[in-house]
Amino acid sequence: EINPLNKKQVELFLTNYFSDNTIKSQRLLKSLKDTAILDKLPKTPLTIALITILFEEKEIEIPATITDLYEQFVGLLLGKYNPENTIEIIEIGIKHRLLCYIAKSLHTDKKQSTSIIDLKVLLTEYSKQRGQNFDIELILEDLIANSGLLFVNEKNEIQFKHLSFQEYFTAYEIFHHRQSDINLFSKNFNNLWWQNV
């Protein structure tokens, strides 16, 4: 468990990160206050670091919606902004698609984690459904080691670094890839487990 950062800690992080550019630090701080995005996100070091990196890399205002911010987070974590070739672009797409599939499966089962064996079975099913052939061991290892989105917890199960990532990918999967399941939104409208999805 990570205690949420308070406003003073966030300010200190930004001041230290942009130690050579106080104007940039002040601009980001003002943008965070104006959008009130931190009131809607987990105030973890990962979230603050990602917002800061996005701001530094793209020199843009922080999006006002959680969905837009998470889309940028995921793109950054999966390497979308620095692909070296077409193969990497395809791999990023596959990883994104798998994360969506994993998230929806976990969320519809009301789970935050699953065993590595069950996850491999799930990914094998996905691979067969799509007629795709990829090395499940290798891609799963890469997602855990390099994306910052999945990790092995204390029960030796796989889960998303934060429930908000699972919720984002679940919503993305249903809205963009599973229109037949869109009734889950209305069916679970008053269900707290589905609220953020």
What are the distances in angstroms from CA 152 to CA 145, 156, 189? 10, 5, 31
pLDDT of residue 33 exceeding 70, the answer is yes
Q: Which long-range contacts (CB under 8 A, 24 or more apart) does 79-83 make?
A: 81/57
- Sheet of 150-152: strand order equals 113-115, 157-160, 150-152
Mean pLDDT of 77-83: 66
pLDDT of residue 83 exceeding 60, the answer is no
- Which two three-digit tokens encode residue 122? 């799930």
What are the distances in angstroms from CA 188 to CA 128, 179, 192, 193? 29, 15, 8, 8
Band of residue 170 on the pLDDT scale cut at 50, 70, 90: very high
pLDDT of residue 72 exceeding 70, the answer is yes
List all residues 6 or more positions away from 15 whose beta carbon is below 8 Å from its beta carbon.
22, 25
pLDDT tens, position by position, 131-155: 878 788 888 888 888 888 899 999 9
Band of residue 158 on the pLDDT scale cut at 50, 70, 90: very high
